[in-house]
Amino acid sequence: MERLYDAALRKAGCDLVVHEVVSTRVKESDRQELQQALRSLIEGDEMVVMKLDHLDLSQVEVIDRLHSLRESGIHVRCLEGQIITRALG
């Protein structure tokens, strides 16, 4: 499955692809790959994920994360959910 995700993310134009094997149920500070990805983003970047639930545990947390990223000028695109925040302006 990891290779399929990697191929899909590369095809989507991702320069950096990180794979996380821990559950979203662990503390965010223990999600090292997520932290690496978030630290690498700058204003105008687009974070591409396969599924929104890869960002956080609950729907509320995912929405909060999307809002926080947008406030930082970072767009999010979800390949399996057809969500592209760049389309929001």
Question: Could you tell me which residues come within 8 angstroms of residue 63 by beta carbon, excluding any fewer than 6 positions away?
Answer: none
What structural domains and CATH numbers belong to the chain?
A: 2-88 (3.40.50.1390)
Count CB atoms within 10 A of the CB of residue 78: 20
Q: What predicted TM-score, i.e. pTM, was given to this entire model?
A: 0.80
Relative to beta strand 75-78, strand 83-84 is: antiparallel
pLDDT digits (tens, 9 = 90+) for 35-82: 889 999 999 999 999 888 888 878 888 899 999 999 999 999 989 876
